[in-house]
Amino acid sequence: MHKTLADRCFLLPNGPCPSLMERAGKALAKERAKTGPAAAAYRRGCGVNEEIPGMANPDSSTGATTVEHRDLANAIRFLAIDAVEKANSGHPGMPMGMADLATVLFTKHLNFDPKAPHWPNRDRFVLSNGHGSMLLYAVLHLTGYAQATLDELKRFRQLGARTAGHPEYGHMEGIETTTGPLGQGLATSVGMALAERKLAAEFGEDLVDHHTWVFCGDGCLMEGVSHEAISFAGHLGLSKLIVVHDNNHITIDGSTSLAVSDNQRARFEASGWATLEIDGHNPEEIDAAFTLAKSLNKPVFISARTHIGFGSPSKQDSEGAHGAPLGAAEIEKTRAALGWPHPSFEVPEEIYAVWRKAGARGEAVRLAWEKTLAEAEPAKAAEFTRRIEGRLPEGVAEAVEAAQRAAVAAPQAISTRVASQRALEVLTAHVPEMVGGSADLVHSVLTKTKSTPPMSKQDFTGRHISYGVREFGMAAAMNGMSLHGGILPYGGTFLVFFDYCRPAIRLAALMGAKVVFVGTHDSIGLGEDGPTHQPVEHLASLRAIPNLRVYRPADAVEALECWYDAIALPGPSVFVGSRQGVPQIRLDPETAVMPFRGAYVVGGEPAKRDLTLLATGTEVSLAVSVRDALAAEGISVAVVSMPCWERFDEQTEDYRRSVLGDAPRMAVEAASPFGWTRYVAREADVCGVPTFGLSAPAPEIYKHFGLTTEAIAEKARAFLAAGGR
């Protein structure tokens, strides 16, 4: 079916190029010609000059060495097979099919050091087809990552194990990102590659010069986010990004021909990628392709024709190998077919030895890099280290507090999206690692500041990214930048379009990635655009995501507080802003700067409380107007602004009780009332938007839903007359 490697060419937009072997040879010669101790260490780390002791040359037929490529690859296969069998759960087919590719990558090309898994200039490896997690766990174990013990492999998919069903960031060193939802790993890797280019442009390639490698499957390339990611990476010419496609023609339901007939190479080429096609089980072809890919000046797509369940006599090339244990009888047949007579979870010591030497390749590279960092100009080295460690610069808090006092001294009625931009002007001037962007809405979501010039293929020093109409791709890329380190990403779109971003927001929360997702035009206040563009259920659904902070400030002072809180704390945040203007509620210089606790009583505690009115964002000023109207009738109302529920819930019980009080409570928010029963007795006690919005001028829509001073005051009177029930 396949032509020989020498007969196959890869294509670039300007036409055919010489054969892969010829060009790989030239790339290899170029690497060997590099001089200097760092270059020599790099060559040793990447296997350019020499083979790993004890490992046969991939094209050797002498049998003179102890361990052949197939032995190393089979170690991956059978650790995966055995772990899935023991768990009675998992996906053996992909690790069996991609073991040859992983073996060549980790033994000869990937720059990593298990002794220093967080070394900043390591290559990043992303397993986008995360259901094949045992491939990654097996390789991490074989190469000597301390946390990837054999016992952990035996606990695959068990409660409390590091070896979760899909790779989870933070569970085990060597896992660069959480994957499993297909396509997201590929999109996240684009952010990693972009972060590498950004930091290299700023600090120099002596400190930042590494590749991002991605394994992906047919399913990843069917997902819509892959189209966004591929297009964006090609547009920016991310030359350090290499994607290896597990082209096995099989999905869960059967052959890929059931659902897709795309020419994947042509698709990537159309987006500005270089493409290669290889036999994914031929180590010579794999090695040549990887060598060549590293030398090209654009992102590279390698289509590797593989066999899912490789070596299984009954299940190879069938969906039966995808997502279920092979079974004891089939495993024994596979051991015989692949010449692996060893018992379950047993890897011969001579094979371990070669794998461990492969894992030790990167130490020399890492030590040479550390020497380069130590000898760098001190201010440059200190700034690079600060950013990688995620520490904010000195003086940021003081700058924010000064801006808060200035806002109180000169109050203005502005939209909270404008308040957000003003906060960003302060922060981006003091925090150079903040990199913003928008999904083709920069003049609406207002994420660009004077300190964030545009980033482009020609100039990666910029700090504002035009993501285009690629909301999901934007959110996933921001996750990748955050995980890479050295970048604090934020980016925005209309809040209603967070439905397109949601899968990446969820993964950010699962991973604890420090990203700020900006959503503006946050309610029915959008008016005439109508219900397609008016977020109603979005606040509730975002607040339902664990480990995610949702900020909805009421004015310019709260916007500054929320933004600083978002970047000062670990983990992801959502900043929600309005299109319409609102009056400033923080007017007292004594309260210009307060500890941020997620909620507080506006204007101080009244002498007595007949009613507590909770509100967020644009509805806080509405609640204040209700308070003032009822005060004229002798009804004392405490208005509580709650810009961040999650931060309020973290406070002490005494503080929470002091804010919420003992009086009956109502809530006001121009959104779904769902979720407010955390603080009020019933959803009926919420003045909100229980249905989709309407197309009309905003004041008419607010009146329609009873979100006016008069309507809320009347509801409050009836509520109190009924005994606060």
Quote the CA–CA distance of 611 and 724 in Å, as a whole number. 8
Which of 583, 607, 634 finishes a domain? Answer: 583
According to the annotation, is 118 in a ligand binding site?
A: no
Q: Given pLDDT bands bounded at 50, 70 and 90, which one contains residue 724?
A: confident
91 annotated as a binding-site residue: yes
497 is in an annotated binding site: yes
pLDDT exceeds cutoff 50 at 65: no
Pairing assessment for the beta strands 516-520 and 573-576 based on DSSP bridges: parallel
Domain match, 573 and 609 both:
no
Q: Is 438 helix (H, G, I), strand (E, B) or coil?
A: strand
Same domain, 247 and 348: yes
pLDDT at residue 12 in the model: 34
* Judgement on whether residues 92 and 158 belong to the same structural domain of the protein: yes
Q: pLDDT above 90 covers what percent of the chain?
A: 90
Asked if 372 and 85 count as a contact pair (C-beta separation under 8 A), the reply is no
Q: What whole-number distance in Å separates Cα of residue 100 and Cα of residue 76?
A: 9
Is 307 annotated for ligand binding?
Answer: no
Select from 556, 583, 610 the last residue of a domain: 583
Looking at the fold, whether 296 and 320 belong to one and the same domain comes out as yes
18 is in an annotated binding site: no
Q: What tens digit of pLDDT does each residue of 636-676 get? A: 999 999 999 999 999 999 999 999 999 999 999 999 999 99
Residues 111 and 237 in one domain: yes
- pLDDT at res. 500: 98
Instruction: Report the predicted TM-score, pTM, of the whole model to 2 decimal places.
Output: 0.93
Which residues have C-beta within 8 Å of that of residue 12, sequence separation ≥ 6?
269, 274
Assess whether 567 and 639 both reside in one domain.
Answer: no
CATH number at residue 339: 3.40.50.970
10 Å CB burial of residue 499 (0-12, 13-18, 19+) is middle
DSSP category for residue 455: P
pLDDT 10s digits, 588-627: 999 999 999 999 999 988 889 999 999 999 999 999 999 9
How much is the mean pLDDT over the chain?
93
How far is Cα 38 from Cα 617, in angstroms, rounded to an integer? 54
Q: Establish whether 555 is an annotated binding residue.
A: no
Looking at the annotation, which residues are catalytic?
A: 471
Residue 14 belongs to some domain of the structure = no
Give the confidence band of 34 by pLDDT, cuts at 50, 70, 90: low
Q: What is the pLDDT of residues 559-589, one digit of tens each?
A: 999 999 999 999 999 999 999 999 999 999 9
Whether residues 573 and 617 share a domain: the answer is: no
Is 147 domain-assigned? yes
CB 566 within 8 A of CB 413: no
Asked if 565 and 617 sit in the same domain, the reply is no
Q: Do 218 and 349 lie in a common domain?
A: yes
Number of structural domains found in the chain: 3
Task: Tell me whether residue 182 is annotated as binding.
Answer: yes
The pLDDT value recorded for residue 36 is: 47
Domain assignment present for 389: no
Q: Is 242 marked as a binding-site residue? A: no
Judge whether residue 685 has pLDDT over 90.
Answer: yes
Q: Are residues 352 and 215 in the same domain?
A: yes
CA distance 135 to 538: 37
Helix (H, G, I), strand (E, B) or coil at 187: helix
pLDDT score, position 725: 73
Residue 47 lies in a domain: no
**Residue 657, marked binder:** no
495, 496, 531, 526: which is closest to 697 by C-alpha? 526
User: Could you tell me the residue range of the domain that residue 606 belongs to?
Assistant: 598-722
pLDDT in tens, 360-414: 999 999 999 999 999 999 999 999 999 999 999 999 999 999 999 999 999 999 9
Determine whether the annotation assigns residue 219 to a binding site.
yes
Task: List Cβ<8 Å contacts ≥24 apart for 563-567.
Answer: 563/400, 563/420, 563/423, 563/424, 563/427, 563/516, 564/396, 564/397, 564/400, 564/423, 564/427, 564/596, 565/596, 565/644, 565/647, 566/516, 567/392, 567/427, 567/431, 567/434, 567/488, 567/514, 567/516
CATH number of 716's domain: 3.40.50.920
Q: Is the pLDDT of residue 182 over 60?
A: yes
pLDDT tens for each residue of 214-242: 999 999 999 999 999 999 999 999 999 99
Residue 378 lies in a domain: no
pLDDT band at residue 17 under the 50/70/90 scheme? very low
Longest distance between any two alpha carbons in the chain, whole Å = 99
Is residue 218 part of an annotated ligand binding site? yes
In this structure, the answer to whether residues 408 and 551 fall within a common structural domain is yes
Asked if residue 197 is part of any domain, the answer here is yes
Question: Where does a domain end: 366, 383, 418?
Answer: 366
- Position 62 confidence tier, pLDDT thresholds 50, 70, 90: very low
- Do 189 and 331 have their domain in common? yes
199 located within any domain: yes
Residue 176 included in any domain: yes
* 484 marked as binding residue: no
Establish whether 444 is an annotated binding residue: yes
Identify the weakest region by mean pLDDT among 33-47, 445-459, 504-518, 622-636: 33-47
